[in-house]
Amino acid sequence: MTTYLWIAAGLVVVFLATAFFGRKYARHFMVSRGIRVDRFKLKRKHGEIELEVFGNREVVQAVKAYASEHHVSVDEARRQAGKYLHEILPKFNLLAYYRVGAPVARALLFLLYWVVVERSVLKDFNSRLPRESTVIYVINHRSNADYVLVAHMLFKFISLSYAVGEWARVWPLNHLFKWFGAYFIRRRFREPLYHAVLSRFVQTITRRGVTQGIFIEGGLTRDGAFRKPKIGMLDYIVSSKRDPEFTQPLYIVPTAINYDRVLEDRNLTDELLGKEDRRSRGEKLRTTADYLFKNFFRSMVRRFRRYGYAVVSFGLPLSIDEFMATHPQLRAETYEERKPAMNLLADEIMERISDALPVTPVTLIASIVRELGPAPISESTLVGEIGIRYEAWKNRIWLLREETPHQIWEAGREVLMLRRLIEQENGGWRWKPDELLLLDYYANSLMLYSEVKKRGWPESSKLAEA
């Protein structure tokens, strides 16, 4: 995290040095590049949002309830609601997004990964998209690098406003994310007034056509498999359709991300262990320092090697208007009445994300090794198993440069050897016994949502016990 803060501080300096050339230059840049930016996002003042939020009946009732519960005046409760809204609101800056954010995102991603974005589905969807439609990208959550990958994958089409958790509410990350159009949300914060303000804010920007991105799992997966979807943010978005004046089409674009290496994989899998078995903060810092030093040295002698693929693909878009026509309970007044239909919607979105989940060499090899067991496996057997899956999984997403099973094995082997996760023994290859958490993590990354749902979500109970 310290490393991220230093990087972010450097980005702030770059931003201050380059981004304040004026709104006129920003507008010219947008027009010259043919960039589509939501008009509502370019407004410098948030008076309209404040009017809509604090003029809402549910927010007014929440303010009164807060005042009564906390034994404060209504004016003080209203000021608290204002603080919540100020915390949430983004401060989108066109130049920061396109002159700083997009180039830095591209540079970081291509330093670490072979980045592949499958845009054909998106281009076809955009070509048929009715004018004045609102589009929400719903994304699975693998890594904090997802935010950078999201910015990179869509910046040629549109600037995306995405919901960011409280982990980024530290200086200078908070300013960076707000400049890039993000809005902050407090996860697991149960204050009714806060959620009334957040709900109305999300509904307001949805009705105004702001393109958003949300991570439906609510947090990073610890075991590599899909997490149980959280329907809170999805409910806020869909509930905007309860307003009879919001007649514009509303679409969900399922978005699937997969990596050959998740940067935080060891920290995430550590959380599945008991507290006494987890690495200490000092050990984690040493691992990070070692990683940075080695990669810096490799880059100096031109031996830097990427950590495999980072792949993004898009599933079949979903019309919320059509879904609501067959599930009218989504328009119900109370959350409890809407919840069953919201769960059905979340399952449908997760199924479409699952169908679009891309295969990568490391995740493929991990799934094979776990299935075949701990004994050393010959290279010919591994290559043969890759070929079998390549033929059996024709309906899955393959966006790899490698064209043969042997090339896929070589690509995955290079990453796994670089990370010292596999070793040769008795003429074969085996996954190191002390790295089995990572074996499961990457093997689980290819599990379909239906398989995970049938298995259940054991990571939640383990985390609760830890």
CA distance 349 to 139: 9
Tell me the average pLDDT of the chain.
84
In a domain, 40, yes or no: yes
Report the distance separating Cα 53 and Cα 58, nearest Å. 9
| Collapsed DSSP state (helix, strand, coil) of residue 238 | helix
Instruction: Confirm whether 177 is domain-assigned.
Output: yes
Chain centroid, CA 369 distance in Å:
28
Q: What does the alpha-carbon distance between residue 363 and residue 384 come to, in Å, rounded to a whole number?
A: 16
**Are residues 145 and 311 in contact, defined by beta-carbon separation less than 8 angstroms?**
no
Q: How far is CA 440 from CA 15, 95, 251, 279, 338, in A?
A: 41, 42, 34, 18, 36
Q: Are residues 130 and 199 in the same domain?
A: yes
466 falls in which pLDDT band (50, 70, 90)? Answer: very low
Do residues 233 and 331 both lie within one domain?
A: yes
Mean pLDDT of 5-24: 54
% residues pLDDT > 70 (the chain):
77
Considering the domain architecture, whether residues 56 and 197 belong to the same structural domain is answered as yes
Do 344 and 362 sit in the same domain of this protein? no
Check if the beta carbon of residue 98 is closer than 8 Å to that of residue 37: no
pLDDT of residue 161: 79
Above 70 in pLDDT, residue 184? yes
Q: Which residues pair with 184 in a beta bridge?
A: 164
348 and 362 fall within a common domain: no
Residues 332 and 371 in one domain: no
Model confidence over 260-313: pLDDT tens digits?
999 999 989 988 876 555 555 555 556 555 655 565 555 554 556 788 999 999
- pLDDT per position as a tens digit, 147-176: 888 777 776 666 677 788 777 667 666 767
| Kind of pairing between the strands at 161-164 and 183-184 | parallel
- Between 335-355 and 232-239, two packed helices, what is the crossing angle to 10 degrees? 110
274 plus 410 within the same structural domain:
no
Q: Answer yes or no: do 351 and 362 share one domain.
A: no
Please count the structural domains in the chain.
2
Which of 213, 242, 215 is closest to 230 using CA atoms? 215
Domain that holds residue 218: 2-278+309-355
149 and 9 both lie in a single domain: yes
- 75 within domain boundaries: yes
